[in-house]
């Protein structure tokens, strides 16, 4: 485990917001599955006393994290494909209200996993690509004929390329250096291009009411943004924040009941019994507790560096 400074302001002045609930510092690859049920199991979570950014500290090194994400497999995710497809179709429709339709324009999905969003975007007319560190997930995407590269934004296949849109769905909270990853996305975008980020909102009403029982406090989450701190980080990189707001997802009722059970065993058993008894396990419904948000940032057509150069 390593200690880190605030990724937003760079300072090392913090207070403990939630004490660690992990036992020891051994890294379990299983907790890095997208469908991990490890709610409430996390490293020490602190809040920067200068800028208010919330993050895990101490935490695992970048090398350890990348090793885990490269090795992780998540077969449960495959069974949830229907819910993910519904979610990403809704996300894409909302995105295109800002970006306009694909019409052959280019899109790169960072942390594409098994390629559900890439496939959704291709079907809607985008020249969509993805990068994904998990060898298993990238292979699953490639089996479906999708342009998903095994790797990260540092992949040599991306050298010299620029895209109209870069997306990160539930990714930025997992990375070692969010500011650095946003900076790389800036370089991968054409002037006037869009960066779309989706993550948890640590300052949402649900998060504040639930406190230490907020389900998104988990081992695999290193950074906990609010809409305010996200806007600050995007602005520091050079993006114009065009819109930010709560955006939920679709989940099968059977899967939702299993998530409730991971958080609260008694409630979960009741929920699963009800859903199973009514034969509703495969029904997907919209879920929005207001604690997940999407932000749309735009790279200026003329950057400050261009202006200074003149």
Nearest CA among 189, 207, 111 for reference residue 150: 111
Query: Which class for 225: exposed (0-12), middle (13-18), buried (19 or more C-beta within 10 A)?
Result: buried
Q: What's the pLDDT tens digit per position in 4-14?
A: 999 999 999 99
Residue 307 pLDDT > 60, yes or no? no
Q: Per-domain residue ranges for the chain?
A: 80-213+223-248+288-309
Spatial separation of the C-alpha atoms in residues 139 and 130, rounded to whole Å: 12
Most confident of 52-61, 243-252, 262-271, 299-308: 52-61
17: Cβ contacts below 8 Å, ≥ 6 apart: 45, 46, 47, 54
15 and 46 Cβ atoms separated by less than 8 Å:
yes
Q: What is the pLDDT of residue 78?
A: 79
Centre a 10 Å sphere on the Cβ of residue 131 and count the other Cβ atoms it contains.
22
Q: What are phi and psi of 73, to 5 degrees?
A: -125, 150
Q: What is the pLDDT of residue 306?
A: 46
**How large is the average pLDDT for residues 147-174?**
95
Average pLDDT, the chain: 87
Which of 46-60, 117-131, 281-295 has the least mean pLDDT?
281-295
Q: What is the pLDDT of residue 308?
A: 37
pTM: 0.89
Spatial separation of the C-alpha atoms in residues 207 and 289, rounded to whole Å: 9
* 80-213+223-248+288-309 fold: Rossmann fold (3.40.50)
């Amino acid at each position: 485990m390593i200690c880190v400074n605030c990724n937003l302001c760079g300072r090392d002045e913090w207070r403990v917001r939630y004490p660690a609930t992990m036992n020891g510092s051994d890294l379990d690859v299983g907790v890095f599955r997208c469908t991990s049920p490890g709610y409430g199991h996390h490293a020490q979570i602190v809040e920067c006393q200068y800028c208010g950014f919330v993050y895990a500290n101490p935490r695992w090194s970048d090398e350890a994290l990348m090793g885990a994400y490269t090795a992780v497999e998540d077969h449960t995710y495959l069974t949830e494909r229907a819910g993910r497809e519904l979610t990403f179709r809704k996300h894409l429709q909302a995105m295109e209200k800002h970006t306009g339709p694909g019409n052959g324009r280019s899109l790169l999905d960072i942390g594409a996993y098994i390629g559900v969003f890439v496939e959704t975007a291709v079907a809607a007319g985008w020249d969509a690509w993805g990068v994904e560190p998990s060898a298993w997930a990238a292979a699953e995407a490639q089996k479906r004929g999708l342009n998903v590269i095994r790797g990260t934004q540092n992949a040599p296949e991306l050298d010299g390329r620029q895209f109209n849109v870069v997306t990160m769905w539930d990714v930025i909270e997992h990375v070692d250096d969010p500011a650095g990853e946003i900076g790389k996305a800036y370089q991968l975008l054409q002037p006037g291009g869009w960066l779309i980020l989706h993550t948890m909102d640590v300052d949402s009403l649900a998060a504040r009411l639930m406190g230490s029982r907020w389900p998104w406090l988990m081992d695999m989450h290193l950074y906990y943004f609010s809409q305010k701190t996200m806007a600050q980080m995007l602005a520091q990189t050079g993006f114009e924040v065009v819109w930010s707001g709560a955006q939920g997802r679709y989940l099968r009722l059977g899967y939702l009941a299993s998530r409730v059970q991971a958080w609260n065993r008694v409630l979960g058993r009741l929920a699963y019994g009800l859903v199973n008894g009514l034969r509703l396990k495969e029904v997907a419904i919209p879920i929005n507790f207001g604690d997940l948000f999407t932000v749309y940032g735009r790279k200026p057509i003329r950057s400050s560096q261009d202006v200074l150069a003149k």
